[in-house]
Amino acid sequence: KAGVTQTPRYLIKTRGQQVTLSCSPISGHRSVSWYQQTPGQGLQFLFEYFSETQRNKGNFPGRFSGRQFSNSRSEMNVSTLELGDSALYLCASSLEPTGANVLTFGAGSRLTVL
């Protein structure tokens, strides 16, 4: 059973540009969540999608957005990149966003903003 797949794994952008990151969840998983990981802040919740609907959103500016497709694949977009957006972006999937469902994480997309 394939795990959570994130693409691209590494990317370098410059300030002001935009970036789109992709996440393919484990087959059968319908809930996808996104987290930002930085050395000082740890993992911080960005947003969660279930059945193509955003259920929750973390405390990030509107430059951060996402969507989920009918096949449960998800993308997140960051516009007008800032230096502080440099981070590891992790996607996690679960069967459903309830109860003791375990989040399974992908290896992440490491974004460097110059």
* Binding residues among 21-80 for other proteins as defined by CB under 8 A: 31, 33, 35, 40-45, 48, 55-56, 58
Among residues 23, 22, 16, 14, the alpha carbon closest in space to that of 112 is found at: 14
Pairing between β-strand 10-13 and β-strand 64-68 as defined by DSSP bridges: unpaired
Q: Is 76 exposed, middle or buried (0-12, 13-18, 19+ CB in 10 A)?
A: buried
Stretch that binds other proteins, among 11-19, 67-75, 79-87, 92-100 (CB under 8 A): 92-100
What is the closest distance, in whole angstroms, from the C-beta atom of residue 87 to other proteins in the complex?
14
The footprint of other proteins (CB under 8 A) covers: 3-4, 31, 33, 35, 40-45, 48, 55-56, 58, 90, 92, 94, 97-108
